[in-house]
Amino acid sequence: MKLITPQAYARSITPRAVTGLPADFRWGVATAAYQIEGAAAEDGRTASIWDTYCRVPGAVVRGENGDVACDHYHRMPEDVQLIADLGVDTYRFSLAWPRIQPGGRGPANQRGLDFYKRLIDELDAKGVTPWITLYHWDLPQELEDAGGWPARDTAYRFAEYAQLAYDALGDRVTHWTTLNEPWCSAMLGYAYGVQAPGRKDFGQALDAVHHLLLGHGLAARCLRGAAGDHPLELGITLNLGTATPETDSEADREACRRADGLGRRLYLDPIVYGRYPEDVLDDLAATGNRLPVQDGDLEAISTPLDVLGVNFYRGTLFSGADENGSPVDADGRPVTRAVERDLPRTGMGWEIIPSELTELLLRLEDDYHLPTVITENGAAFADTVAEDGAVHDADRTTYLADHIDAVAAARAQGADVRGYFAWSLMDNFEWSYGYDKRFGIVRVDYATQERTLKDSAKWYRDTVRLTRNGATQ
């Protein structure tokens, strides 16, 4: 794989108003609790599956962990000031389940809740809207020990936790997201073993898929009931991409159908329409797998939503043949193979095709008719710190500019996209990559915890201001 160099992708971009975005379009930045908070054993917080996974030899680059991360728990007012200085109107952050409900059962931990109350106070004081994600991968370890997401009971525990969080914060917060990227939680964590908790069992991963969605539905019901007449914008965030056939052959189109089914429709069809896609169920049955659906589950999962969060990083070209041209693998199963293209790539090795974000948003509009917000979009690159401490990350600025233009293009063609949140506010603990990959528009010196606005942050700040000032109602 040939990674694009910063010089090969970057270009000089001047901040400008993005045309076609309305005055009420949301601009934000996003983070996740385990990636930035630190304070892993303070004020009653107990271990999550990521605390445990980070201690597994070889699981994380250099054996790093989120014990300190960006020390956001202690530097939160400073970080909120950074957010306000960027001129964005929304901050998407996640609550740490083991900080709010240690062990995943029982009453709320008041000290944990107090941190988030202080965070919301700071945001309110700066005129920034809080956008809460209830679950961004930090399952309490005790619940994993009891079976984790493959166990049905975890869905009920999640709904209980959601109720505790809403009871404490719901009078101050309107925007609530249940889950972040359940595909990653289920597949990377339980099928492929490359993220916490590190299991490798496809059948358990499918159980996790259903129970994550059930947990979402049960939590959504709880929040709807608790909100009453209080304003509530309820959603879920999915990591979504495009599936493009390498050729127009039937085999390649079939490969795309399978990939799209397991990566997109398996989640959105039950959420929006209260049913799993029949073709995906048939595919699973052909391999001896099934989803553990019980009576009433799909009704809960399809509790109405107000917004769909879209995390977009890349699309994929698929082939229905292996490297030797065979349409089946060694076990006789149909091949679905991602094909590498000669395209610019981020530091993660992910292909850069902004037009595929436009394509995705238009397809979501056609298939599901939900308002969308880009809840994550950004790129890791190998930043270089200049002698004066500046970070001239033209590659990241180019990436952000191209993808914001792709959002505007989707809106111009009829997609109801209502916001864009850059990932990430700051460099942070990047899961199994440790601190090796930097996605932030703000640089963090992990030795000193000093924050520095990268050029991309300054460009984003100025672009938001110019776009907001030039927008029409």
Q: Exposed (0-12), middle (13-18) or buried (19+): which is 342, by Cβ within 10 Å?
A: exposed
Q: Which residues pair with 319 in a beta bridge?
A: 337
Nearest CA to 458 among 443, 440, 441? 441
Q: Which of 64, 181, 359, 430 is catalytic?
A: 181
| Sequence-ordered list of residues with C-beta below 8 angstroms from that of 266, at least 6 positions apart, any chain | 209, 276, 277, 280
Q: Is 376 a catalytic residue?
A: yes
Written in H, E and C, the secondary structure of 220-235 is: HHHHHHHHCCCCCEEE
> Cα separation of 398 and 346, whole Å?
11
Measured in whole angstroms, the distance separating CA 224 from the mean position of its chain's CA atoms is: 23
Q: Which residue has the tokens 């996790």?
A: 208
Other Cβ atoms closer than 10 A to 4: 18
Q: Which of 37, 144, 359, 376 is catalytic?
A: 376
> By the 8 A CB rule, do 317 and 338 touch?
yes
> Cα separation of 63 and 55, whole Å?
7
Could you write out the DSSP letters of every residue in 46-57?
A: --BHHHHHTTST
SS3 (DSSP) at 140: strand
> Cα separation of 360 and 364, whole Å?
6
Measured in whole angstroms, the distance separating CA 401 from the mean position of its chain's CA atoms is: 20
Q: Which residues pair with 442 in a beta bridge?
A: 426, 453
Return the H-helix or E-strand segment holding 442.
strand 442-445
Degrees to nearest 5, angle at CA 310 with 400 and 217 = 160
> By the 8 A CB rule, do 56 and 193 touch?
no
Find the helix packing angle between 455-470 and 394-412, rounded to 10°. 30
> Cα separation of 132 and 137, whole Å?
14
Q: Tokens standing for 172?
A: 């101050």
Report, as residue numbers or ranges, the catalytic residues: 181, 376
